[in-house]
Amino acid sequence: MGSSPVRYERSGAAAVLTIDRPERRNAVDAATASALRRALSDFEADDSARVMVLTGKGEAFCAGADLKAMDLDVGNPDGPLGFTRLSPSKPAIAAIDGWCLAGGLELALWCDLRIATPRSVFGCFERRWGVPLVDGGTQRLPRVVGMGRALEMIVTGRAVAAEEAERTGLVNEVVEPGRHLERALELAERIAAFPQETMLSDRRAALEGAALPLDEGLELERRLGQEVLGVAARGAARFAAGEGRGGEGV
């Protein structure tokens, strides 16, 4: 029996998911999609894993669906690439080096944050083959970069270099070559060190409120904030006692 196309490893407070098909530029076939879905389940079930880091082995983050295999289940309610129609309950960071294309871009957009290296390239390359975006790209890309830039990427299928991706907000940070995973793990530890209840509540309010009218979004924020007031009171008491002054710990 061969090894899994997705490695699941723990590193501190993070669960690191590595797509391990470098010979196919980490393109996703049915077996890889199933392995990604299982890995997400493992992450969700592990209370000590507070952040997921998604990355790829070799010269690519992920080149999208494996068009040579053509065995993905497009109608899968969880998403053809494993979990792209699901929402993680905890933060996820994409650590990107090299090609991040088509479905690979959609996997990166599924994450909360994206860290990339200078050689990383992004694009809706499925445009060239007449393949539709069915892993959330049409919905998540406009939410990240705005409708104008998203439509340009979707209808032209052009390549976007890392520098432009950072400038437009597609990528949160471009780091030195080879440091993408290290930086993602640093951010994961920082996120994990915060009181989790309020961080997760605020994250949920932002994500769920994005599609709501402002008044409904504000009501969602109020309701979720009310549920974590006990945590807030304890944090305020620590601040009053002198903890975290001058931005310490941020």
pTM over 0.75? The answer is yes
Per the structure block, which two tokens stand in for 102?
């088509």
| Residue 106 among the catalytic residues | yes
Whole-number pLDDT of residue 50: 98
The residue among 246 and 146 whose pLDDT is bigger is: 146
Measured CA to CA in angstroms, residue 26 lies from 97, 104, 177, 245 at distances of 12, 9, 19, 45
**What pLDDT was estimated at residue 1?**
44
Catalytic annotation, pick one of 126, 152, 166, 197: 126
Strand partners, 123: 101
Q: Over the chain, what is the mean pLDDT?
A: 93
* DSSP letter string, 66-85: -TTT----TT-TT-TTSSTT
pLDDT tens for 46-75 read 999 999 999 999 999 999 999 998 899 889
Catalytic residue, from 44, 106, 152, 208: name it. 106
- Rounded to whole angstroms, the Cα distance separating 113 from 103 reads 17
State mean pLDDT over 69-86.
Answer: 93
What is the mean predicted confidence (pLDDT) over 122-126?
Answer: 97
Asked whether residue 236 carries a pLDDT value surpassing 70, the answer given is no
Q: Is 23 known to be catalytic?
A: no
Q: What is the dihedral of CA 160, 80, 65, 46, to 10 degrees?
A: 80
